């Protein structure tokens, strides 16, 4: 399907930074496991999607496009238009993610990042188990 600039603009304007389906699915699954958390916790750097304050665990659910999954290959294969805008933007996001990870770790928090499609959608149970394992280590 060939997309017009207007259609693409409308599509991109509907993307929000919080409350995505994968993030909500992971959060609800944690809640059903009895794990209590805060969503989009503003008191921490990077505003984690899920913050388990009792155990100092910050969880992020990152979209593959926005956060650069397999970036070296994807920037060549996936980005065809407006490359001078998108490539620096996504690289800046990657750097910001690294900085946020370092800040949270320096505050004594454990950081867990999941890819939206490759982790949460394909292996939700594995994500839950990883979080539970981290809780038991604390």
DSSP E strands in the chain: the ranges are: 38-39, 50-52, 57-62, 110-115
Q: Are 30 and 37 in contact (CB under 8 A)?
A: yes
Any alpha helices (H) in 43-82, and if so which ranges?
64-67, 71-77
| pLDDT tens sequence across 94-136 | 999 999 999 999 999 999 999 999 999 999 999 999 999 999 9
> Does pLDDT of 7 surpass 90?
no
What per-residue confidence (pLDDT) applies to 136? 95
What is the percent of the chain where pLDDT is above 90? Answer: 68
Selecting from 3.40.50.300, 3.40.109.10, 1.10.630.10, 3.40.960.10, what CATH number does the domain 19-137 have? Answer: 3.40.960.10
Contacts by 95-98, CB closer than 8 A, 24 or more apart: 96/46, 97/46, 97/60, 97/62, 97/67
Question: How far apart (Å, rounded) are the C-alpha atoms in residues 7 and 116?
Answer: 24
What per-residue confidence (pLDDT) applies to 124? 97
The residues, any chain, with a CB within 8 Å of residue 15's CB and separated by 6 or more, are none
What per-residue confidence (pLDDT) applies to 33? 96
Domain ranges of the chain: 19-137
pTM tops 0.75: yes
> Does pLDDT of 12 surpass 70?
no
> Does pLDDT of 2 surpass 80?
no
Angle of CA points 46, 49, 53, to nearest 5°: 85
> Does pLDDT of 45 surpass 90?
yes
């Amino acid at each position: 399907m060939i997309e017009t600039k207007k259609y693409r603009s409308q599509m991109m304007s509907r993307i929000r930074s919080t409350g995505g389906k994968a993030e909500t699915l992971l959060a609800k699954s944690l809640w059903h496991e009895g794990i209590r958390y805060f969503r989009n916790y503003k008191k921490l750097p990077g505003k984690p999607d899920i913050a388990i304050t009792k155990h100092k665990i910050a969880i992020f659910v990152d979209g593959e496009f926005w956060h650069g999954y397999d970036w070296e290959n994807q920037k060549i294969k996936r980005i065809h238009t407006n490359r001078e805008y998108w490539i620096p933007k996504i690289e800046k996001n990657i750097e910001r993610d690294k900085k946020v990870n370092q800040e949270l770790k320096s505050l004594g928090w454990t950081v867990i990042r999941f890819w939206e499609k490759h982790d949460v959608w394909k292996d939700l149970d594995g994500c839950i188990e990883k979080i539970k394992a981290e809780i038991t280590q604390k």
